[in-house]
Amino acid sequence: MRELEVQLDNYPSRIIEHATLSSILENLGYKRINDKIVQLKNKGILTPLKSGVYIYNPLHNKALVSKEIIANILLGPSYVSLDFALWFHGLIPESVHEISSITTKRSKSFETAYGVFSYRQIKKELFNIGLEIKAFKGGNFMIAGKEKALCDKVYFTKDIDLRSQKAMIEFLEDDLRIDMNELENCDMGIFEEYVKISKSKKIEVLTKVIYGLQR
């Protein structure tokens, strides 16, 4: 068991797929691989995320696992966005427990021991706009920049009519509780590209509002 722990401790990520884990166990001489994996799960050394993907819980290291990295791995391609990204960038005050992401695949959600991870489908042409790569111990993750996260939030808001500047400002200030001063240094090129590709009237109105703040 000590040899296995050393091998897993040296693995670059605490998130490990079944094939990689099986290879490590085989190299250490284990014969009944699936039985050993079940044993590791029962002891709490492995926590399943989804079929064939586990988180390794070291016995002597309690370092946190990045939920953003988990979100990227659970369903790909995807990036963290919407309310969680708005909170991450300091645009909204309340912490967000559900990790919300955007994907080009079908909308889906996962309930795991590390929280709920939800995914919304977006057209491929909008996927790559305004993304950032952030470093975390044990890996990097992809997240929407504040401009992209705000565009995504407005784009996916269906229950409020946001086609006027007055309604948009009320949504930003009252519903999202965004400090409008945080939007004064936005990269307007991201908003403009989002408008051009999405052809969304709501994003066009949002862009006009942000331009107004920067004047």
What 8-state DSSP symbol labels residue 183? G
- Is 201 strand, coil or helix? helix
Confidence label for 1 from pLDDT (cuts 50, 70 and 90): low
- Beta strands 115-121 and 99-103 are parallel
Tokens, residue 160: 């409020």
CA distance 208 to 210: 5
Q: Which of 64-73, 145-154, 159-168 has the lowest mean pLDDT?
A: 64-73
- Asked if 164 and 115 count as a contact pair (C-beta separation under 8 A), the reply is no
pLDDT mean across residues, the chain: 93
The pLDDT value given to residue 149? 98
Q: Which of 96, 66, 68 is nearest to 84 (CA)?
A: 96
The pLDDT value given to residue 78? 98
Q: State pTM to two decimals.
A: 0.90
CA distance 113 to 192: 39
In angstroms, the Cα distances linking 81 to 76, 119, 165 are: 14, 9, 23
Q: Tens digit of pLDDT for each residue in 48-99? A: 999 999 999 987 766 678 999 999 999 999 999 999 999 999 999 988 989 9
CA distance 100 to 50: 17
